[in-house]
Amino acid sequence: MISSRLTSKAQTTVPQPVRLALRLKDGDEIAYAIEGDRVVMTRVQKEAVEDPFATFGEWGGEADRKAYGSL
């Protein structure tokens, strides 16, 4: 059994064996499912981001991505 402590601010560190098993890295989201008296923790799968430049190859350069990336 792997365990960790809860701080006074209701925070905890995800133990390294759990991070490795779920392939967690900085910035990943974690989802929790409550199943009776158990909680299942999983890594949230990131959805593919639609690339607005994929259709138009002539607008696929780095300069275009910088200029229009925030649109």
Q: What is the pLDDT of residue 53?
A: 61
Q: What is the mean pLDDT of residues 2-7?
A: 95
Q: What is the pLDDT of residue 47?
A: 74
Distance CA 40, CA 6 (A): 17
Residue 57 confidence class, pLDDT cut points 50, 70, 90: low
| Lookup: tokens for 49 | 């981001």
* Residues 6+ positions from 15 with CB-CB distance below 8 Å: 2, 3, 4
| The model's pTM | 0.60
Q: What is the pLDDT of residue 17?
A: 96
Residue 4 confidence class, pLDDT cut points 50, 70, 90: very high
- The per-residue pLDDT for range 23-46, each reduced to its tens digit, is 999 999 999 999 999 999 999 987
| Lookup: tokens for 18 | 């759990």
DSSP 10: S
